[in-house]
Amino acid sequence: MSAQGAGATGVPADVRVEVLEFLHHEAELLDDGRLDEWLELLTEDVSYAMPVRLTRERGQEPAVSAEMQFFQDDLATLRLRVRRLRTDFAWAEDPPSRTRHFVANARVAPGPTPDEVDVRCNVLVYRNRGASAASDLISGERRDRLRRVGGAWKLARRVFVPDQATLGVDNLAIFV
């Protein structure tokens, strides 16, 4: 183990702590509906995707579509989505959902440049709306790339791989 505590992952312990803090802070912004602040966490060239998952035989797993996504966004379309949610006509989120993003099992690996890290983590999003006790659960793996921009970590790429082939949600009017 190195003096910085880089360990087997090749990523210094202080960077791992910063990454965890980033993920937890991001989850807080999403769950508190502070979406304008959330947009500030994204790089200008961010790509945000959620591929379609398929049921395939063993050997073809994990069957993740390279051709179709539930989200395929860049900063422009993410801003558009947030702007829409701010209008008086975004019925799907007015009244808003109550969400809780549980972010766990984060593994941090060196990225392609010294200013980047690749992070995989498990995410469970609990979502409840209205008076019903019935809830949505969205489970999946995030494959993120974070980049240090001006001293702060930002999200440069997210691929959220869902665990359901048929999503158990009426809509995806929230972010994962």
Tokens of 43: 């790089």
β-pairing, 42-53 with 152-162?
parallel
Cα–Cα distance measured from residue 92 to residue 137, given in angstroms and rounded to the nearest whole number:
17
**Does residue 96 interact with another protein by CB under 8 A?**
no
Q: What is the closest distance, in whole angstroms, from the C-beta atom of residue 31 to another protein in the complex?
A: 18
Q: What is the closest distance, in whole angstroms, from the C-beta atom of residue 103 to another protein in the complex?
A: 20
**Does residue 98 interact with another protein by CB under 8 A?**
no
**Does residue 4 interact with another protein by CB under 8 A?**
no
Phi-psi region of 78 (alpha: psi -120 to 50; beta: other; left: phi over 0): alpha
The residues, any chain, with a CB within 8 Å of residue 29's CB and separated by 6 or more, are 35, 37, 38, 41
**Does residue 59 interact with another protein by CB under 8 A?**
yes
Other CB atoms closer than 10 Å to residue 4's CB: what's the count? 11
**Does residue 150 interact with another protein by CB under 8 A?**
no
**Does residue 55 interact with another protein by CB under 8 A?**
yes
Nearer to another protein, 17 or 165 (CB): 165
The residues, any chain, with a CB within 8 Å of residue 84's CB and separated by 6 or more, are 90
**Does residue 170 interact with another protein by CB under 8 A?**
yes
Among 1, 60, 104, 112, binds another protein (CB under 8 A): 60
Cα–Cα distance measured from residue 150 to residue 144, given in angstroms and rounded to the nearest whole number:
19
Among 34, 77, 107, 109, binds another protein (CB under 8 A): 77
Task: Give the DSSP H or E segment for 25.
Answer: helix 13-31
Q: What is the closest distance, in whole angstroms, from the C-beta atom of residue 80 to another protein in the complex?
A: 6
> Which residue stretch of 39-47, 97-105, 144-152, 162-170 sits at the interface with another protein (rule: CB under 8 A)?
162-170
Interaction site with another protein (CB under 8 A) = 50, 52, 54-60, 63, 65-73, 76-77, 80-81, 83-84, 87-93, 165-173
